[in-house]
Structure 1
Amino acid sequence: MSRRPFFVGVGAQRAGTTWIGHFLRRLPDIRFSPIKEVCYFDAKHVEARKRVISEAMNTRLAVLGLGNYTRKHPLSGLRLCYHYLGIRKLSDDSYRAFFDELARSGAVAGEISPSYAMLDEDAVRHMDALLDQPNVFFVMRNPVDRLLSQYSFLSTRPGLKAPGGTDLTDALCTLCGQSFHVNYPRSLKTYRAVLPEDRFKTFFTEHLFDPARTQAQCDALCDYLGIGRSAVPSDRPVNRAPAVEISLETRAILAGKLAKSYSAARAIAGEDLPLSWQRDLALIDQT
């Protein structure tokens, strides 16, 4: 793949994008945004996300990321802070200047915002034009496993709250209907309608975290971004959440509700679809 100056990572919540961000941040050819989830395009284009950049949690994370970067790179960091003030006002010029600053040394610069899975075609066209046709990658995780991880995350993190219900199955079904970030068929259709095949690549969380495939998957990501390969570090930081155990019956119910996402992924991956996805598809076929 030819090297381009910018990239954007998209993916579902709880799909491993935090780990990917840690990996990319270590690479000498990459200047990863100090703010992993800038959320610029969803704040600009998705009505329900208009104020997301100014929310307290995102503000704290942005200040922490920019503060750490500025301590290591004082001049560049101060310029990034200035540009970020403009990003919070949804300024295209500031967003582009933010990444131009990161790419100043000739490195590839980018960010990962899972919420970009919510964008429509006009928003993706806006992204494509503003960043001069960036490379975009999309990360998917088994829909039921991702849902369970999201429920656990919401249930155990201070300040967050998982939906209630008459029982766990009911609560999970409720959350299933609220997970607007993870409509794989819609997201895939949107990005593939706007971007050419050579600038939109999909990855599966299960392949990335499979010890037998992790290095090859990271090599493929580096090749796609047009940068040098790097060994995957052994200290792999992952934003983990406690496991949630469910019955096979509940799994079948949830998989049925998410059947279109399984089918959309199968249409892309074919026989290389991860085993957990294949097992859930078998459950769907049996119901």
Structure 2
Amino acid sequence: MSNATHLFGIGAAKAGTSWLFKFLESHPEVASPAVKELHYFDDADTDTPERALIKRNEEIQQDIVTLELRRLISAEGKKRKLASRIERLKQVSALLELGYSPEAYSEYQQAEAARTNAKLTADITPAYALLSKATLKMMAGLGQTTKFIYILRDPVERLWSNIRMVADARAKSNAEMAKISNRIADSILSGEGHPSFLRSDYAGTLDRLFAAVPSADRLVLFFERLFDQATIETLCRFLMIAPMPAKTHRPVHAGATFPLDDTRRAGLSQLLAPQYAAVEARFGALPDRWQQNMTKV
């Protein structure tokens, strides 16, 4: 069994986690995850921690069916690649079918590392940012070395991107997407709330993360600086993998574009003012984009 490092990427949602996944997926010292977001611990703080596993397994089973159909009509070389991916998804499904067991999760990740003699395995699931201090502490103790990365994006920009993603999934046209986006923003501004707003609590996540995970095993990055070569080198040193050039100019899963009007921007800036203040108090000077939106508070 391998003693590879395991990484939890806990968000934030719409803050570069897909880019991080793609970067790690292409690194020769990383066991390429079968899926980006495993969602294994989503419900660990509830009385039914297996609920998230059941839901995720249903999604993976559907992916397997889809890939099996594609394999039937693919060329021989493509068939082999699809067969390999299907087999790995079946292994993930087998893990989920065992029920909630952090020990089984850890064993699966170590087996993944041993499969390719990798130094690192990864589970990039932004939903983990909502977990309690106790659960984060438990996760930090799963392996010989377990590390956490949390990427922060300008609060207004992150929330608006998250809102647009939700709206885009529901809408049948750009015009409808714009209407839904504005409706969600108005709901948040009126105090009704929305799941996307829960991911905006940087202060709460940072408090829990810093209390649960030793400083040597956590890294907080800014999305606005994520694509600088210096940041990439810092990332690789933290993960104890060899530095590698990254594709820094190609968006991954970029959301549909639709401008946020000045009135709603000002309202969201005001609502998120405590997040700007908390991050500034903890880390000092903020990226320019953050400071631009802070001036609107």
Q: What is the TM-score normalised by the length of structure 2? A: 0.79
Distance 1:61 1:16 in 2: 27
> Does structure 1 retain, via aligned residues, the 8 Å contact 2:14–2:158?
yes
Query: How far, CA to CA, are the matches of 2:61 and 2:224 in structure 1?
Result: 27
Distance 2:219 2:210 in 1: 10
SS of 2:41's equivalent in the other structure is: helix
Deviations 1:135-182 (A, max 9, x none): 111011111111111121111125899896985751453685432233
In structure 2, the residue matched to 1:103 is 113
Note closer, same or farther for the CA distance 1:48–1:151 as it changes in structure 2 (3 Å cut). Answer: farther
Give the C-alpha shift of residue 5 in structure 1. 1.7
Q: Which residue of structure 2 aligns with residue 228 of structure 1?
A: 242
**SS in structure 1 at match of 2:144:** coil
- In structure 2, what is the equivalent of residue 118 of structure 1? 130
The aligned residue for residue 292 of structure 2 is 279
Cα distance, 1:80–1:117 mapped onto 2, change above 3 Å: same
* Percent identical residues: 24
Cα 1:100/1:17, change in 2 over 3 Å: same
Code of the residue aligned with 1:118 in structure 2: it is L
Is this contact kept in 2: 1:46–1:118, CA < 8 A?
A: no
Structure 2 counterpart of 1:192, which letter? F
> How far did residue 18 of structure 1 move?
0.6
Q: Which runs of 5+ in 2 are unaligned?
A: 69-78
CA contact (8 A) 2:31 2:113 kept: yes
Paired residues of 1:147 and 1:176 also in contact (CA < 8 A): no
Residue 247 of structure 1: CA displacement? 2.8
Q: Which residue of 1 aligns with 2:12?
A: 12
**Cα distance change, pair 76–126 in 1 and its aligned pair in 2 (3 A):** farther
What 5-or-longer segments of structure 1 have no aligned partner? none
Q: Corresponding residue for 1:44?
A: 44
Change (3 A) 1:27 1:79: closer
Residues 150-229 of structure 1 mapped to structure 2, 5 A cutoff: 150-157=162-169, 169-173=185-189, 177-178=194-195, 179-209=197-227, 213=228, 215-229=229-243
Q: CA deviation at 1:216?
A: 1.8
**Residues 38-117 of structure 1 mapped to structure 2, 5 A cutoff:** 38-46=38-46, 51-55=51-55, 59-60=59-60, 63=63, 71-72=80-81, 78=87, 81-82=90-91, 84-88=93-97, 89-104=99-114, 105-117=117-129
Q: Using the TM superposition, give the Cα deviation of residue 62 of structure 1 relative to its aligned residue in structure 2, in angstroms.
A: 8.2
Q: CA RMSD in A?
A: 3.5
Look up the equivalent residue of 2:157 and give its one-letter code: D
Cα deviation for residue 33 of structure 1 reads 1.6
Q: Deviations over 1:44-91 (max 9, x none)?
A: 225698633333797148846xx79x9559789747734542335212
Compared CA separation, residues 9 and 71, structure 1 to 2 (3 A): farther
Instruction: Give the Cα separation in 1 of the matches to 2:245 and 2:104.
Output: 34
User: Which structure has the bigger radius of gyration?
Assistant: 2
Answer whether contact 1:43 1:90 (CA < 8 A) is retained.
no
Moved more, 237-246 or 218-227: 237-246
TM-score (norm 1): 0.82
The SS at the match of 1:122 is helix
The residue identity in structure 2 corresponding to 1:138 is Y
Q: Which of 150, 161, 166 is the equivalent residue of 1:138?
A: 150
Contact 2:269 2:296 in 1 (8 A): yes
Which whole-Å CA distance do the structure 1 matches of 2:268 and 2:94 have between them? 42
Letter in 2 for 1:22: K
